[in-house]
């Protein structure tokens, strides 16, 4: 089978929506693996095409992934394209907590290595020999493996009988070469998925290229369009702790919110999370920021990571409203998100900052699609602007949607605690938010879906704010 170099765009099927079949547990023969993990059926295919890899890579894009724990992963590869795929997989955000070591050589190199050192939790070994030789070498590898080590084999034969025999001998997963980075990531993630918490929602991070670009407004309106027009359940998490506007935009004044969750991430459970969240509509919940200056909010990046992970278990879509600051936790949140939306205005400062953010994310997320770009406040009278096409050419990503400058519509919606879909449902801005909601969710809009103005509309926010001052 001829080797082929992996393409940067390998495995990006955006519109797949299906579940992979999980293989039931199989009796194992130690010591290769103490526990067998999920596997995928092996299909007959023409040379050079790997349907298993296509399925796993596509599902990895369509479904949210579980982060691999902090473990050591050793890869022994024979082919150059496998070495390249393993290297790109090791740099992926989903394997960021694991330590991946890649070595040249197959089973013989692995056996020689583990004669002198203990085996890690996971070994990935490539073997391009025939089935009989592979089974014999697996038995030799078993003699030097510690109990509890998981083994993934990359082989040349697309044979269901060989697959079953490997599973019987305790191999955790079998992949058919050539493999792609997302295929390796999906296989590793499947082995360490927690069956007690199988559901993980997709996280979508919104960040403004500069202050005043409207990142929060875009995040809130997109989440509302996603819940009311697309019909998906979603949660908004306002991580701008001192100045967040999610509570104002939805006319809510929650007693508890995201700051309380960040203060006690280890204690969060579904019941406590439900108490901390405010239900804005039947399908949209809000984790509001305190928006006060009473504290310094010196919170560790690990707390943000833990809270985000807990919230992702509560809804299919989690919209992260990030502040326009730059710190370790913001960078790690952007890199670890399933999708990133960069909101910019058509000016030079936004162009420079958006390019910096997009370049960083391309480097930190080599196996993900590029960030989405939203151009906001386009067409402001009297302001020289960079055309959308030129802006996209400069940053390397063309705008997914362009939102026109409309201060009357946005101002009225903000003052009344409404979303644009309620305040001006037939405006160009409302259409843009609906399109963006479909893009980030990868779902079509139901024909009969529609907003419920009674949910977020209501009395003016000014009255509520003034009454608080009066008290």
Mean pLDDT by 10 residues, the chain (471 residues): 38 36 34 35 36 43 57 90 91 84 90 87 91 90 86 90 89 91 88 66 94 95 93 92 91 82 85 86 90 87 90 89 94 93 96 96 90 96 94 95 94 91 92 94 66 45 42 42
Q: What is the pLDDT of residue 217?
A: 96
Residue 283, CA distances (Å) to 59, 175, 233, 236, 316 in order: 25, 39, 5, 11, 11
Using CA atoms of 122, 127, 130, 132 in order, give the dihedral in degrees to the nearest 10: -40
Three-class DSSP category at 332: helix
Residue 359 backbone zone (phi > 0: left; psi -120 to 50: alpha; other: beta): alpha
Omega within 30 of 0 (cis) for the link into 31: yes
d(CA 295, CA 287): 18
d(CA 430, CA 446): 16
Q: What is the pLDDT of residue 195?
A: 59
d(CA 38, CA 15): 23
d(CA 329, CA 421): 32
Q: What is the pLDDT of residue 67?
A: 63
Q: What is the pLDDT of residue 254?
A: 74
Other CB atoms closer than 10 Å to residue 274's CB: what's the count? Answer: 11
How many CA atoms are closer than 13 Å to the CA of 458, on its beta-carbon side? 14
Cβ contact 156:176 at 8 Å: yes
446 φ/ψ angles, rounded to the nearest 5 degrees: -60, 145
Q: Which residues are CB-neighbours of 250 under 8 A, at least 6 positions away?
A: 220, 278, 280, 286, 417, 419, 456
In eight-state DSSP terms, residue 295 is: S
Q: Which residues are CB-neighbours of 222 under 8 A, at least 6 positions away?
A: 206, 319, 341, 433, 436, 437, 440
d(CA 354, CA 356): 5
d(CA 94, CA 72): 14
Three-class DSSP category at 126: strand
Omega within 30 of 0 (cis) for the link into 178: yes
Q: Where are the alpha helices (DSSP H) in 143-245?
A: 160-168, 181-191, 215-225
Other CB atoms closer than 10 Å to residue 452's CB: what's the count? Answer: 14
Q: What is the pLDDT of residue 259?
A: 87
Buried b (16+ CB within 10 A) or exposed e, 27-49: ebeebbbeebbbbbebeeeeeee
Nearest CA-CA partner of 451 in 416, 426, 414: 426
Q: The pTM is what?
A: 0.68
Buried b (16+ CB within 10 A) or exposed e, 193-203: beeeeeebbbb
Q: How far apart are the first and last CA of the chain?
A: 77
């Amino acid at each position: 089978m001829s080797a082929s170099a992996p393409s940067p765009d390998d495995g990006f099927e955006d519109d797949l929506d299906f579940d992979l079949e999980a293989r039931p547990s199989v009796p194992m023969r130690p010591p290769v693996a103490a526990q067998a993990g999920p596997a995928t059926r092996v299909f007959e295919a023409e040379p050079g095409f790997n349907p298993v890899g296509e399925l796993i890579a596509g599902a990895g894009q369509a479904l949210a992934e579980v982060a691999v724990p902090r473990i050591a992963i050793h890869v022994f590869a024979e082919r150059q394209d496998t070495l390249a795929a393993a290297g790109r997989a090791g740099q992926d955000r989903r394997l960021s907590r694991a330590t991946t070591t890649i070595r040249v050589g197959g089973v013989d190199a692995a056996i020689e290595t583990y004669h002198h050192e203990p085996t890690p939790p996971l070994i990935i070994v490539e073997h391009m020999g025939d089935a009989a030789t592979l089974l014999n070498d697996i038995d030799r590898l078993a003699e030097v493996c510690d109990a509890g080590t998981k083994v993934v084999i990359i082989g040349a034969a697309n044979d269901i009988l060989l697959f079953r025999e490997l599973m019987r001998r305790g191999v955790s997963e079998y992949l058919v070469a050539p493999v792609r980075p997302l295929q390796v990531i999906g296989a590793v993630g499947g082995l360490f998925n927690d069956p007690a918490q199988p559901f993980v929602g997709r996280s979508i991070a919104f960040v403004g290229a500069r202050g005043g670009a409207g990142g929060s407004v875009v995040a809130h309106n997109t989440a509302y369009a996603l819940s009311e027009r697309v019909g998906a359940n979603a949660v908004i998490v306002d991580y701008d702790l001192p100045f967040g506007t999610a509570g104002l935009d939805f006319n809510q004044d929650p007693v508890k919110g995201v700051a309380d969750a960040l203060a006690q991430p280890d204690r969060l459970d579904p019941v406590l999370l439900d108490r901390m969240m405010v239900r804005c509509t039947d399908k949209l919940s809000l984790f509001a920021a305190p928006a006060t200056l009473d504290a310094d909010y010196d919170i560790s990046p690990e707390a943000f990571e833990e809270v985000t992970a807990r919230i992702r278990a509560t809804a299919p879509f989690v919209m992260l409203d990030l502040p326009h600051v730059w710190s370790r936790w913001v960078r790690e949140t952007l890199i670890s998100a399933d999708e990133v939306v960069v909101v910019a205005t058509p000016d030079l400062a936004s162009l420079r900052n958006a390019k910096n953010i997009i370049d960083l994310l391309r480097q930190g997320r080599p196996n993900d699609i590029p960030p989405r770009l939203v151009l906001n406040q386009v067409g402001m009278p009297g302001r020289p602007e960079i055309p959308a096409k030129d802006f996209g050419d400069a940053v390397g990503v063309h705008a997914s949607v362009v939102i026109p400058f409309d201060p009357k519509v946005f101002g009225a919606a903000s003052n009344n605690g409404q979303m644009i879909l309620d305040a001006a449902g037939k405006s160009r801005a409302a259409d843009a938010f609906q399109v963006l909601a479909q893009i980030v969710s990868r779902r079509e809009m139901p024909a009969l879906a529609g907003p419920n103005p009674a949910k977020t509309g209501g009395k003016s926010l000014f009255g509520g704010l003034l009454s608080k001052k009066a008290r």
